[in-house]
Amino acid sequence: MAGFQDYQSWISRARQFMADEKNEPSGFKVVDRRGFNAEGSRREDSEPETRKPETSAAAEKAPRPSAVEPAVGEPSEADLGGEPSGFETLVSYLSTTTMFQLGLLPGPGGERIPPDMANAHRTIDLLEVLQEKTQGNLNASESRLLDEVLYELRMTFMELQKRQARKG
């Protein structure tokens, strides 16, 4: 049930963020470092990568960490509150991703993120696939969470599409 309450607080914060529609410059600068331009030819100002990653024989023979053990510096399940990742976490992750894609949540520096409607639609579609594939295998709480998350995301998506249509 905590997952649903967290989602409700995210929705209220997202609605508040939408209401604050400010067009402040973020100070964020994007630098294109790709070696090729849109036509596929090499950029004049780029130099081809000539470095190879350095690997030693000792590094290749060293045991690799298993997928179950967290890497050094990563939190373990105990550090995350003792609750293993589950269905609610997956739904929460996908819904938060959709809200970022819809431009409802601020970026890391508090800047406004422009909506990416195509990817938001794809993420909502993923949640719909999840709902379809888990039909009959969820408990009542999980099913209600997924239904309500999908409803809220669909309504928000449609509202933002209407706003964009009015502006454009």
Model confidence band, residue 67 (pLDDT cutoffs 50, 70, 90): very low
User: Looking only at Cα atoms, what is the longest distance across the chain?
Assistant: 62
Residue-level pLDDT at 61: 56
Would you call 36 helix, strand, or coil by DSSP? strand
Distance CA 144, CA 11 (A): 16
| pLDDT tens digit sequence for 96-135 | 999 999 999 988 888 999 999 999 999 999 999 999 999 9
**Taking 80 as the threshold, does the pLDDT of residue 78 lie above it?**
no
| Domain over 82-168 is classified CATH 1.25.40 | no
What percent of the chain has a predicted confidence (pLDDT) above 70? 57
∠ CA 130-117-99 to the nearest 5 degrees?
Answer: 60
How much is the pLDDT for 10? 64
Whether the full predicted model's pTM is greater than 0.95, yes or no, is: no
- Determine the 3-state secondary structure of 42 from DSSP: strand
Would you call 137 exposed, middle or buried from its count of C-beta atoms within 10 A (0-12, 13-18, 19+)?
Answer: exposed
For residues 83, 85, 86 and 87, what is the CA-based torsion angle, rounded to 10 degrees? 120
**pLDDT for residue 97:** 95
At a CB cut-off of 8 Å and minimum separation 6, what does 34 contact? Answer: 43, 46
